[in-house]
């Protein structure tokens, strides 16, 4: 059984999509093992996106991610990391298939703004462990 990390981003919270996304997680058979609403602090965000901090687009990511509350959590199940990524769909909502979370709900981005794609999911088991440690101090 694997455990992976997720963030339901400010756009998901503002648009009232948290329940729908959590429902999809549970309907798929995964167990929600941690769930918390929080306001992201920049220091935590910089640790999470350490590979992007020096990129010119990072300030727009930071502004978006700190623009409102988020839901952070973990889900567990067989093949959870890849299955969650598959459920999310392509990072770019314009390329996400219908039936995926991003394909069904994400709005994309306005010019010069950060991509609003509803949710984050760890891209590997190693990343999941690292992100769980950052966000939940484990």
**Residue 129 class from Cβ within 10 Å (0-12 exposed, 13-18 middle, 19+ buried)?**
middle
Active site residue 120: yes
Those residues with Cβ within 8 angstroms of residue 27's Cβ, 6 or more apart along the chain or in another chain: none
**Token representation of residue 98:** 């219908």
Active-site residue identified among 45, 120, 128, 135:
120
Angle (CA) 79 17 130, round 5°? 40
Is-contact 116 9, C-beta < 8 A?
A: yes
Give the residue numbers annotated as catalytic, written as ranges.
120
């Amino acid at each position: 059984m694997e455990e992976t990390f997720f963030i339901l981003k400010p756009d998901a919270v503002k648009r009232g999509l948290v329940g729908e996304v959590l429902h999809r997680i549970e309907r798929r058979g995964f167990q929600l093992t941690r769930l918390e609403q929080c306001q992201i602090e920049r220091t935590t965000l910089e640790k999470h996106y350490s590979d992007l901090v020096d990129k010119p687009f990072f300030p727009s990511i930071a502004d978006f991610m700190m623009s409102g509350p988020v839901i952070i959590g973990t889900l567990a199940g067989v093949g959870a990391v890849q299955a969650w990524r598959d459920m999310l769909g392509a990072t770019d909502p314009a390329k996400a298939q219908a039936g995926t979370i991003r394909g069904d709900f994400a709005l994309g981005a306005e010019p010069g703004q950060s991509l609003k794609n509803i949710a984050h999911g760890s891209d590997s088991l190693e990343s999941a462990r690292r992100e769980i440690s950052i966000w939940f101090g484990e």
